[in-house]
Every structure is written in structure tokens, then in C-alpha cells.
Structure 1
Amino acid sequence: MYRKRIDVDVVMDILKALLEAQPHSTFVASLYQQYQERGGLSKKQLEGLYNKSLKVKSIPANKLATLEAMILKRPNRYKSTPPPPKPLYEKDERIGQLMEAILAKYPQHKRVLFLKSKYDNNETLSSAEVLELERFIKVLK
């Protein structure tokens, strides 16, 4: 297993050089503090550090190349698109057909008209109500 040498820390060297070149930069100070606390930086933070360090001429090119290699080595994290929203209630077509069949024969059936209004308003029908509709269909046949 390959282990990094502790005495060679390119990111810390670049951070220190940037702090010397730009002592009033809050971005670099924040990165320096985070690097000391956590021991590492995210890919986006390293990219920001690299872009800042390109503007400073006192940082050696070999350290910049090492930082760039570290950035390229890190994986890109992409957020997947969220799935499309599903409706809260999906109508059971079989129940709708049962109601239509009953109402075709008896259009003024009050209980079926009540259940149809619940069905049309996307309210869930209880299992007892569905059994009641099936019983009505059996009586019709």
C-alpha cells in the first residue's frame, strides 16, 4: 500500500505561501483553518486553491502541478436528477368500470353516486366499499 510521506505536504506548503502573499484573504485563511482541523479539503476547495495559487508567482510550478494532479485524481460527484413526482393516489380503473356499469343500469343509485363522487375526488375507497360495489354488480347479473 502506498502511503503519503508526512514530511511532504504540498497543500499546506501552497496554503502557507498564499497566506504570505495574500495575508488579508479570508478565503485562503478559511481553507488553511479547515485543512488544519480536518486534514483535507474537498475537490471544489482544492480547485479554488489552485485558481488562487495560479495568480501568485512565488509558488513553484512543481507544487502547482502536484496540486493539479491531486485535483484530477479525485472523483467527480454528480447529483442525479430527482424522480418525477408520483400522484398521492392512483385510481383503480376496475372500480371505475364497476361504477359505470351500475350507473348505466341504475343512474339514480344513491350509494353508487356517493362512491363515484369519492372516486372522482381521488379519495380512497375502503375495502368494505369496494366489496359493496362488487356485490351490487353480482345482484345486477
Structure 2
Amino acid sequence: MSKSKLDIIDKVLEACYKYNPDALFVMSLMHQYEERGSLSKKQLEGLLAKASKVPDMPANWLATLEATIHKMHTRAKDPATAGKPLFEKDEALGDKMEAILQKYPAHKRVVFLFEKYNRNEVMSPLEKTEIEKFHKLLIR
């Protein structure tokens, strides 16, 4: 940080420390500020909360600290969304297979595809058109 620029954060930290020298939170922030040269947005918000309780804290320091906080970027996490299921049963297709099996219970290909359908396996477009074709031919 440049020497010519006023370091409001340091001044606020010192004022908070003078007001309550036993405050562990303020001491921790002072140590971290000396080590890294900066504080996170959450830490600065906590410092602002502590500093606003100090009776003789200059209002312009608080305003500058608040402006510094508002300038900082806020990382917003997207809320977790419930994903859609990987497989959705095609009820119309199942009904068509059941209708075919009602009339022709020994139809091997439809029995095979119906078992696949009941195991929630993904059916290829070719298999779906096959069922449509069987339904059109056998059920009228």
C-alpha cells in the first residue's frame, strides 16, 4: 500500500484496539492485516460492526470503511438445484407394450423390450419405433 494514501483500515483497527485492548477478534484482525496487508470482505464487515460500537470513532472513518466494503466483490454461490432424473419412463410406450402383451403374451421381442422397460433401461429410438410399428400392426 502506498505511503501517501491514508490507511483507514489500520486507523480503525488501532482505535478499536485502544477502546478494548482485550478484544481477541480485533487483535486477530490486526495481526492478519499486518501479515497479509488486507482483510476479507467478511472480516471488514465484522470490523465495521465492532467499530460502530466504539463511542469516539470518527464517522468519516466508518463511512470510508463501509465504502471499502461495498466496493469489494461478493462471491455468491448458486443455490443447489435438484437435478432431473437421468431416466424418465415413457408411460405411453409402456401402455402400448402392455396392450400388445395382453393380446399376444408370447411375442418374444415385445416381452424382451417390456423387461428392459421395467428395469428402467434406456430404450434406443430404433426400439421405440419397433414398438410403435408392432402396436400399429397388432392392435387396432
TM-score (norm 2): 0.69
Separation of aligned partners in 2, 1:115 and 1:37: 68
Q: Is the 8 A contact 1:50 1:64 kept in 2?
A: yes
State the partner residue of 1:59: 57
State the partner residue of 1:35: 33
State the partner residue of 1:137: 134
Q: Is the 8 A contact 1:18 1:53 kept in 2?
A: yes
TM-score (norm 1): 0.68
Q: CA RMSD in A?
A: 3.6
Q: What are the ranges of 5 or more consecutive residues in structure 2 without an aligned counterpart?
A: none
Q: What are the ranges of 5 or more consecutive residues in structure 1 without an aligned counterpart?
A: none
Give the length in aligned residue pairs. Answer: 138
Separation of aligned partners in 2, 1:96 and 1:23: 75
After superposition, give the CA deviation of every residue in 1:47-84 in whole Å (9 maximum; x if it has no partner): 11011011112432221121122223334443333333
After superposition, give the CA deviation of every residue in 1:18-58 in whole Å (9 maximum; x if it has no partner): 22322222221222233233322222221110110111124
State the partner residue of 1:20: 18
Q: Is the 8 A contact 1:10 1:66 kept in 2?
A: yes
Identity percentage of aligned residues: 49
Separation of aligned partners in 1, 2:22 and 2:108: 79
